[in-house]
Structure 1
């Protein structure tokens, strides 16, 4: 064995330990106040998060999937509207579009960045195309300038899926400030994570925010007065209080992730001629690295699955985000897509491997992961 210590894929305790007293106090305050639903901490967090994302308004909901579904509805998406989205994203993006009643139109990705291919998106536009959902995958934004040019040329609404890109930046924009609205997730392992599920929609448009508040609360703009078909999807006050404590630390945590990625980039550069290639960073320090993902190309001495197994044997925990593209998932075969429709996404799903990444990961842990890769491919 290379080492007897394990490098975890994610370790949340490192970020939580220094602020444990603040977290305890925030939770205790909510318990004392008893405002568990739509309480004071929720309003405070919504305002703070909107400001952090350089937008005006934010509406907390129960999860990131609801943020997409309700957010699209709040933006005026109707049944029959076609929405462009990438084939290589977490299934929640697709589910959100379907729950909004829209027609998903999947498109391929750029293999070097894993982000949506905007040329492919342009080619898929029809007279029914109403919106595009760019997924800021792995912590890197889709180019805002290119997005805005496409949207303006074809009168498309931009609805950002920023579930993995809290405070990411590119082209002078912050994730959540590019389009009409944006969805975020606060799943515990996200860059800004709650102690359970949670989500939020950011927007600069007051009418979108107002409709979001109604939709999340049974379709009622005021109590017991229901003007539309809403649901029960509210960010709990307890979770908002926790997120309030964590938000001021998010920039530092993101910087820690970006610095860790630079160490990975430097150490893995020697393996480029052996088929180990990191997903490219086109955003510099604006990439917040929710995940650090490498590609295992065909000229690597071993395939991705073998590499993952060998790393596990050396105590390096890894993940695959995501192993099956949306159009090949069994539940969604009725959408009419088939194998071969999106070759870049399909190939990428066979190549990608996510390495340990979290704020506070040590240089020693990164070097251990790099050394284990070298050993596995015969470079040590």
Structure 2
């Protein structure tokens, strides 16, 4: 059987082949039920069993403490940019740390519902470094502090979550971890709420996972729609409205696959090895440039630029001919971007490195 291409898309992104094959096998008849998962009632015993298993596996994989509720919602990360302030801001002060395009977009959206201030920003250096937490200007009356713990477009990642209490701040920390969820552990002692769209590391678009500490559940603004009220959704077990059933099913298969691979600790070790392999190749040649400081580099999303950008189209054409897909950078920054999520094997990164070395040798 021919090898599938290696898909470096930032999202929707590559899915483990074993998951795709299992979903294909179960498409017409899930476990003898006579139904496809996409045909099932979300309140029927068949789907309830799928959703409960998915939630239990997710809690186990990320060691989510019992005081956090896991919600399966819709709307993606962009939706949560509005849903979070409608639930947590109380219409008052909210502080944002801007480290790239996604946190900047989040802050702009939250201004529709709250008094937003930027506590720190790396815009001045082109989103190439992480603002040191000791320099953050946090307000005493902030209802929460928002960070994007991995910037998909700009390629920055918090290697350690900030400890707000050590900074003299009692506000809960909100993290948008969409593009690196399940690639590394989360220190829940530092988090009040986390959210992540599924379409990067957890399967298909349509599902948004929200992890919210129970003491933060009953703060929603009166304007918050019922379907987006965390307390309402939690009390209904994520079944207040019809959830994204097939996306939850696919996520559940991904969780099972992750457990079979050794869990989050094993995936983190693989991700460190993949990122090191790729960054070492980029750093070894002046034919390529990376803009992010080494200590701030993302393990998941690796933007890079050719020294001669007139060769961009040639590089992409050669990549496609080798079965290396979706390497074009985001339209807002240009260049190239390799997203090397959990489902990207080391062999795929090695194939990209081989192209990088060969292309630089022939065109440098």
Which residue of 137, 148, 162 maps to 1:135?
148
Give the one of 206, 211, 217 matched to 1:197.
206
Q: After TM superposition, give the deviation of residue 219 of structure 1 in Å.
A: 4.9
- Asked whether the equivalents of residues 131 and 158 of structure 1 are also in contact (C-alpha less than 8 Å), the reply is yes
List, as ranges, runs of 4+ consecutive aligned residues in structure 1 with deviation greater than 6 Å.
110-113, 220-223
Residue 184, structure 1, aligned to residue 196, structure 2: yes
> Which digits, 9 at most, give the CA deviation of each residue in 1:196-248, with x for residues without a partner?
32102113x22335678x9653659679x9xxxxxx87642222122111112
Using structure 1 for the length normalisation, give the TM-score: 0.66
1:30 and 1:241 in contact (8 A); partners too: yes
2:177–2:194 contact (8 Å) kept in structure 1:
yes
The Cα shift of 1:36 comes to: 6.2
What is the TM-score with the length of structure 2 in the denominator?
0.68
Q: Which runs of 5+ in 1 are unaligned?
A: 226-231, 325-348
Q: Does 1:302 align with 2:308?
A: yes
* Distance 1:199-1:32 versus aligned 2 partners, 3 A rule: closer
| 8 Å contact kept, 1:9–1:319 | no
Q: How many Å separate the matches in 1 of 2:117 and 2:362?
A: 40
**TM-superposed deviation, 1:185:** 0.7
Find the aligned partners of 2:242 and 2:129 in 1 and give their Cα distance: 30
2:82 is matched with which residue?
69
How far residue 133 of structure 1 moved from its aligned partner, in angstroms, is: 1.5
Q: Where does residue 319 of structure 1 map in the other structure?
A: 328
Contact 1:181-1:201 within 8 A present in 2 as well = yes
> 1:247 aligns to what?
255
Q: Tell me which moved more, 132-141 or 274-283.
A: 274-283
Q: Which residue of 2 aligns with 1:291?
A: 301
Return the alpha-carbon distance in structure 2 between the equivalents of residues 309 and 112 of structure 1.
Answer: 24
The 3 A distance-change label for structure 1 pair 34 and 126 is: closer
Q: Pick which of 45-54 and 238-247 moved more.
A: 45-54
RMSD over aligned CA atoms reads 4.3
Distance 1:86 1:233 in 2: 33
Is 1:156 the equivalent of 2:159? no
Which of 84, 89, 110 lines up with 2:96 in the alignment? 84
1:335 corresponds to: none
Deviation of the 1:102 alpha carbon: 4.5
SS at structure 1 position matched to 2:148: coil
Gaps of 5+ in 2: 262-266, 321-325
- Over 3 Å counting, the alpha-carbon distance change for 1:95 and 1:12 in structure 2 is farther
* CA apart distance, 1:8: 4.3
Mark the CA change 1:59 to 1:37 in structure 2 (over 3 Å): closer, same or farther: farther
**What is the aligned partner in structure 1 of residue 58 from structure 2?**
49
Q: How many residues align?
A: 320
| Inter-partner Cα distance in structure 2 for 1:234 and 1:376 | 54
Which of 322, 326, 337 is residue 354 of structure 1 equivalent to? 337
